[in-house]
Amino acid sequence: MKYLNNITEAIGNTPLVKLNNVTKGITATVLAKVEYFNPGNSVKDRMAVKMIEDAEKAGLLKPGGTIIEGTSGNTGMGLALAAISKGYKCIFTLADKQSKEKMDILRAVGAEVVVCPTNVSPDHPDSYYSVAKRLNEEIPNSFYPNQYDNMSNTAAHYEGTGPEIWEQTDGEITCFAAGVGTGGTISGISKYLKEQNPAIKVVGIDTYGSVFKKYKETGEFDESEIYSYATEGIGEDILPKNVNFDMIDTFVKVTDKDGALMTRRLAKEEGMFVGWSCGSAVYGALEYAKEHLTENDIMVVLLPDHGTRYLGKIYNDDWMRQQGYID
């Protein structure tokens, strides 16, 4: 009989799918690494399980413990699946800009969700970072993975996702693009790929209101760059330890609107029902490809999550009109 012992064993080995219609005018071959095939419907399943397993080995997470994490939603889902298979409880803090679907999904898999304000500084006591840290201090036998600075995040992609992409492209990949949030995905994959071929170019997709692009280009953490934006899952107002700027050759910024519209195009034109940051990643990757890639290039762009997280936003015409994204 062929079966898995628990749902987390289904993580990984996601398909690489050629983009055929949104790439008009692009001569390079553009392939999407479609991560919603993971059981939690996102790339974050990979690092969530890795953080838990490494914490167990280090004695930081003990039987019957509680996992407490600040999340945009997807890491929480991956942690919840790992917690179910291993017998842990979960408490997740989310910023109130995150979609209701994400909060409902986390509650559906047994997690407690604490909603925190978006428009406060990271060190404010009410920020979702601060609340997660405080709960970890107050609740006995709890573990705070801290996906932003926990290097198991990067390691998961160095050990898993990077080798998958290299094997799936027969080592012919010349360019890799992905959104940058915690930084673990792009940094781990890039480290592996560049070890195989240092000539591979890596493009980080950032959003307006985030500090990454300017920091890469100038070395300056410019607080004037920071302002509220709607896109979920990419960009930051902090510099996570998992963002290895040496592994990222350049950044492309994408507006909330351009990311949202490309997300819809991927659903309608490619049959890929993906999340908002996926649209941002593809839009930014194609902008780079127009200027820098030729018919000899093989570009892989990572699509982090699934459209079910955004039914009330991206895939809701009324919400899109309210934002001014469609007429």
225: number of Cβ within 10 Å: 17
C-beta of residue 132 within 8 angstroms of C-beta of residue 69: yes
Secondary structure string (H, E, C) spanning 8-31: HHHCCCCCEEECCCCCCCCCCEEE
Q: What percent of the chain has pLDDT over 90?
A: 95
Per-residue model confidence (pLDDT) at position 129: 92
Residue 80's pLDDT band, with cuts at 50, 70 and 90, is very high
Q: What value does the mean pLDDT take over residues 232-255?
A: 96
Tokens of 90: 């979960």
Inform me whether the pLDDT recorded for 144 exceeds 90.
yes
pTM reported for the whole predicted model: 0.95
Mean pLDDT over residues 171-179, rounded? Answer: 98
Q: Is the pLDDT of residue 92 over 90?
A: yes
Q: What is the mean pLDDT of residues 36-46?
A: 97
Instruction: Compute the distance between CA of residue 3 and CA of residue 212 in angstroms, rounded to an integer.
Output: 42
User: With 90 as the cut, is the pLDDT of residue 119 above it?
Assistant: no
CA 303 – CA 284 distance, rounded (Å): 12
pLDDT tens column, 213-241: 999 999 999 999 999 999 999 999 999 99
Fold of 44-143: Rossmann fold (3.40.50)
CA atoms within 13 A on the CB side of 287: 20
* Secondary structure element (H or E) that encloses residue 263, with its range: helix 256-270
pLDDT of residue 152: 98
Please give the pLDDT value at position 170: 98
Between residues 53 and 121, which one has the greater pLDDT?
A: 53
pLDDT in tens, 272-305: 999 999 999 999 999 999 999 999 999 999 999 9
Torsion of CA 258, 288, 159, 12, to 10 degrees: 40
Q: Which residues are catalytic?
A: 44
Q: How confident is the model at residue 73 (pLDDT cuts 50, 70, 90)?
A: confident
Give the per-residue pLDDT at 282. Answer: 98
Share of the chain above pLDDT 70, in %: 100
Asked if pLDDT for residue 72 goes beyond 90, the answer is no
| pLDDT at residue 311 greater than cutoff 90 | yes
Cα–Cα distances in angstroms (integers) from residue 252 to residues 121, 176, 217, 285, in the given order: 24, 13, 11, 8
pLDDT at residue 35 is higher than 90: yes
For residue 182, what pLDDT band results from cuts at 50, 70 and 90? Answer: very high
How many angstroms from the chain centroid is the CA of residue 7? 20
Which pair of structure tokens corresponds to residue 100? 């209701």
Average pLDDT over residues 309-318: 95
- At residue 99, the pLDDT reads 86
Sequence-separated (6 or more) residues with CB below 8 Å from residue 309? 41, 73, 74, 99, 101, 102, 105, 232, 275
> What's the pLDDT band for 97 if we cut at 50, 70, 90?
confident
The predicted pLDDT at position 264 comes to 98
Q: How far apart are CA 198 and CA 211, in angstroms?
A: 26
How would residue 257 be classed by pLDDT, with cut points 50, 70 and 90? very high
CATH for 7-42+158-322 is 3.40.50.1100
Q: How many CB atoms lie within 10 A of CB 145?
A: 27
Give the chain's mean pLDDT. Answer: 96
Domains 7-42+158-322 and 44-143 share a fold: yes
Q: Tell the residue number behind the tokens 């920020």, with chain if given.
A: 127
HSE value, Cβ hemisphere, 13 Å, CA-based, for 167: 9
Q: For residue 125, what pLDDT band results from cuts at 50, 70 and 90?
A: very high
Can you give the residue ranges of every domain in the chain? 7-42+158-322, 44-143
Helix, strand, coil shares of the chain as percentages rounded to 5? Answer: 45, 15, 40
